[in-house]
Amino acid sequence: MYRTSRRDLLVKSAGVAAAGLVTGSCTAPKASREAAPLSSAPAGQADWGTLRGQFRLEPGWANLALFYLASQPKRVRDAVDHLSAQVDANPLVVPTGMRLPDGPTGWPRVREALAAYIGGRAEDIAITASTSIGLGVVYNGVRTRPGQEFLLTGFDHRAQHMAADLAAEKRGARVRMCSWFADPATATAGGIAAAVGNAIRPHTRVVGITWVQSSTGLRMPVRAVADVVRRANEGRSPADRCLLVVDAVHGLAAVDEDAARLGADVVVAGTHKWLFGPRGTGLVWVRPEILDQLHPTFVSFISGGGAAPLSPGGFLAFEHAFALPVAVAMHQEWGRARVAGRISELATRAKQGLSQTRGVTVHTPMSPELSAGITCFSVAGRANRQVIDHAATRRVRLSALASSPYTRLGTAVINTPAEVDTAIASVAGFAR
């Protein structure tokens, strides 16, 4: 179980936190341009090779770390350039009306496009510049009484840990770290939901989970967790309600689900990873029934009511934010189910290949229902940095979290089976 503490973050050290918690236990709080094999695409739909051509990735490299920050497709880059030229010509165009080639754009269009994609309503969406900012807005904004607690696991990202720690410190609340499984590879949906149910206390104000954990690749069974949270809330007043907050950044545009219909109270995501949106963009979706439990933290310049006041304001990178509908439209054209299917197919190939490689242990569940596009593994006797560096000598890009010993292989929709095989071969050549 890995957790980056506030101090770790402040001194930028990369420590591995305490390991070995058993299911349900909790700790005391710490304040190539390579030719892509083309799948058969239904008539009218782009094939994967054509999509790949939209990206100016460095040729000759198999980049299996695209979930870190998106490389932007040409259509998104062009939209950003188009809008940027308008702001540079006349900055007053921002309030009076910026335009994409197909018509006007601005906050209402951005919120409507995202709402259509996540299966929610535009008024329930706040706009942020990243997942981290969204998590800060949410934890800082939850009306919390002294003595209440936020429940997380060490496998959530430090962006969520820090948001919870910082807010808890201000409110006299605490962060309690639990574990929903002993080993991600053998976790089950029922076991995870039961562990969450067992951990909730009357003073638990937030259960914070990660849709797809970037530390393990495990996809949390959000609906099953939402059911246990709902049961725990029976008879509670709004101020005592336990809110289910989901860091959804690696599920959005990687999993074929409506993020707003998972049963969560709050969904937070950057749109600059799997969605291939402009850098510096993200969203917070809030279930309208709990909106009054969230206080705005910043001044917001977005009008329109609902969750809009939760959007951090000021003059932002408008050319990025207002180009988001183009990224959403691209995904809608590609088809969310088809994109998620491709990501999962590539991930399954990676997991199967790695698990058959001597000296390699795959830590992400094999089941597509409990995983998405991130595959975490370790190589016996090798640190993850060594694995990454060795793969780079074979022109393969892999990644790792500073706080975890696992190496990560991410399968974006524009990766290819051949790239996955190259990555597996690079690891096999290194495993002892």
Sites of contact with ligand PLP (CB under 6 A): 130-132, 157, 159, 210, 214, 247, 249-250, 270, 282
Cβ at position 374, least distance to ligand PLP in Å: 8
Cβ at position 285, least distance to ligand PLP in Å: 15
Smallest CA-to-CA distance from 77 within 85, 88, 68, 65 is with 85
Which of 268, 420 has the CB closer to ligand PLP? 268
Cβ at position 255, least distance to ligand PLP in Å: 13
Which of 222, 431 has the CB closer to ligand PLP? 222
Cβ at position 300, least distance to ligand PLP in Å: 19
Between strands 360-362 and 266-270, the pairing is unpaired
Cβ at position 186, least distance to ligand PLP in Å: 21
| Rounded Cα distance, 91 and 28, in Å | 51
Smallest CA-to-CA distance from 126 within 362, 302, 308 is with 308
Separation of CA 211 from chain center: 7
Query: 324: which 2 tokens?
Result: 């988001």
Which of 250, 363 has the CB closer to ligand PLP? 250
Give me the residue label for tokens 């236990």: 25
| Rounded Cα distance, 189 and 183, in Å | 13
Which of 217, 309 has the CB closer to ligand PLP? 217
Smallest CA-to-CA distance from 291 within 265, 259, 258, 256 is with 265
Give me the residue label for tokens 């089976």: 417
Which of 134, 353 has the CB closer to ligand PLP? 134
Spatial neighbors of 198 by CB under 8 A, at least 6 apart, are 24
Which of 36, 151 has the CB closer to ligand PLP? 151
Which of 132, 293 has the CB closer to ligand PLP? 132
CB contact at 8 A, 414 and 76 = no
Ramachandran bin of 72, using left for φ above 0, alpha for ψ from -120 to 50, beta for the remaining angles: beta
Which of 142, 159 has the CB closer to ligand PLP? 159
Amino acid at 133: I
Query: 111: which 2 tokens?
Result: 């919120």
Cβ at position 218, least distance to ligand PLP in Å: 11
Phi then psi for 267, rounded to 5 degrees? -120, 125
Which of 131, 415 has the CB closer to ligand PLP? 131
- Within a 10 A sphere around the Cβ of 53, how many other Cβ atoms? 15
- Within a 10 A sphere around the Cβ of 333, how many other Cβ atoms? 12
Q: How far is CA 16 from CA 13, 29, 37, 275, 404, in A?
A: 10, 16, 39, 30, 6
Which of 124, 247 has the CB closer to ligand PLP? 247
Cβ at position 335, least distance to ligand PLP in Å: 24
- For residue 84, count CB atoms less than 10 angstroms from its CB and return exposed for 0-12, middle for 13-18, buried for 19 or more: middle
Query: 193: which 2 tokens?
Result: 């939901």
